[in-house]
Every structure is written in structure tokens, then in C-alpha cells.
A and B are shown apart, each in its own frame.
Chain A
């Protein structure tokens, strides 16, 4: 049973560039959430996708956008990168319809120079 996978594992970008991060959910899961974890801090909720729609959003600017595909995989896009966007980006999946527990991938570490 494959767990949550994310790609790439590491990424270096410069200010102003755009980045796309990818996530494949755990087998059988249909809901994907994205979190940002800055160094030394707990994760912060970015948004959640279900049925290819953004269902809920945290306190992040519009530079952060996402997409969910029919196979439930998801992308996180960040435009106009800032130094402060440097963080570990975590993807989590769960099964809609009452399952509460979220399972996390290994994360993508983004460094913005």
C-alpha cells in the first residue's frame, strides 16, 4: 500500500520565480491538504482539495494556488516567490466521508534565494 508521495524532495529558486510542487495521495484517499512548515515551527494549513475543488483555505495570499486532478493527485503552485516562502511543504491525504486522520508525505523542501 503506497503512502503519500511528493516531488521533488528539494528545490532551490530565486525571488520572483514560480514553483510547482506535486503530491500523490495514499491509495484510496480522495482529499488532499497542503501545509507550510517554516524552520522551527509547526505546520500552517494552506488549503484543502476535494473533488477537484478548493474546499477550504488558510491565511495565505493568492500567490499560493493549487489544483487537484481526476486521479486525486494535487499540485501546489507558488508565484512571485519571496524569501519568506522558504519552508518544508507538506502534503497530507485522507478519505472523505468521515475519516479524520490525515497521512503525510515526506515533504518538499523549498529554498528561495
Chain B
């Protein structure tokens, strides 16, 4: 069975510090990988995605993620966070053989300390 694990439920970090949000997945079939962000009381916004090609992908708001096939990971990074990055971040995998159904992690709350 496929699954997505976000290893930290909350990550507190000081403003202007770097941050890494971790995501590992398990799948017996090939997958596409996504990060979405959810601001308080809002829907999900696409941050970035890995479909193929370069394993380092860049997204909106200065975020980037690296796909590591051997470690089945897709960690999200930002070199310097801003107070406006306060949100919940969800990692999701899309199964290539299932009408592109998304399987989600439980989310990581990014808490920016002033």
C-alpha cells in the first residue's frame, strides 16, 4: 500500500532562518510528487511539483524541493523564511496508474517566531 509520511507535525523556526520540512513516501509504483500549502481557513495552493527531469525543483515563494529516489524522499526547503510563510504544508504523491489519485501526508505546521 502507498503512504506518505511527514515526519514533523510542527516546525518552529525564527524569521529569516532556513527551514526544511521532511517528506518520505512508500509506493510500489512510480509516482509524481507535490507540495501544497494551506493558509489558515483557506484551500490548498500548489507550491511545487516533481514530474520528471531535474530532481531539484523550484516553486513559488522561494521554496524548493529535492526528489531522492533511493531514499524515497521529497523534502521541502527555504533558505530564509518570512512571517507570511506561517501555514500548514502538505506533501502528496500521485500514483501514475490510478487516475492520478493523490495520497497525502498528515501535514506540517510551519510556525515562524519573530
Q: Which residues of A contact B43 (CB under 8 A)?
A: 4, 6, 90, 104-107
Q: Is B57 an interface residue (CB 8 A)?
A: no
Q: Which of the segments A14-22, A42-50, A60-68 contacts the partner chain?
A: A42-50
Q: Which residues of B contact A90 (CB under 8 A)?
A: 43-44
Q: Is A27 an interface residue (CB 8 A)?
A: no
Shortest CB–CB separation between residue B106 and chain A, in angstroms?
5
Complex formed: what's the CA distance from A106 to B42 in Å? 5
Verify B101–A56 contact, CB threshold 8 A: yes
Q: Is A102 an interface residue (CB 8 A)?
A: yes
Verify A101–B105 contact, CB threshold 8 A: no
Q: Which residues of B contact A100 (CB under 8 A)?
A: 32, 49, 51, 94, 100
B contact residues, total (Cβ < 8 Å): 24
**Which of B4, B46, B101 meets A103, CB within 8 Å?**
B46
**Which of A6, A42, A55, A102 meets B105, CB within 8 Å?**
A42
Q: Is B72 an interface residue (CB 8 A)?
A: no
Shortest CB–CB separation between residue B87 and chain A, in angstroms?
14
Complex formed: what's the CA distance from A102 to B100 in Å? 9
Verify A42–B106 contact, CB threshold 8 A: yes
Q: Which residue of A lies closest to B98 (CB)?
A: A56
Verify A42–B90 contact, CB threshold 8 A: yes
For chain A, residues 65 to 104, give those with C-beta under 8 angstroms from any C-beta of chain B: 90, 92, 94, 100-104
Q: Which residues of A contact B94 (CB under 8 A)?
A: 100
Shortest CB–CB separation between residue A76 and chain B, in angstroms?
15
Which chain B residues have a beta carbon within 8 Å of chain A's beta carbons?
4, 32, 34, 36, 42-46, 49, 51, 90, 92, 94, 98-107
Knowing that A43-B104, A106-B42 are A-B contacts, what are 20 other residue pairs whose CB atoms are under 8 Å apart, sorted by A's residue number?
A: A4-B43, A35-B102, A40-B107, A41-B106, A42-B90, A42-B92, A42-B107, A43-B90, A45-B103, A50-B99, A56-B99, A58-B101, A90-B44, A100-B32, A100-B51, A100-B100, A101-B49, A104-B43, A104-B46, A107-B42
Ranked 4 nearest A-B pairs via Cβ: A42-B104, A104-B44, A106-B43, A104-B43
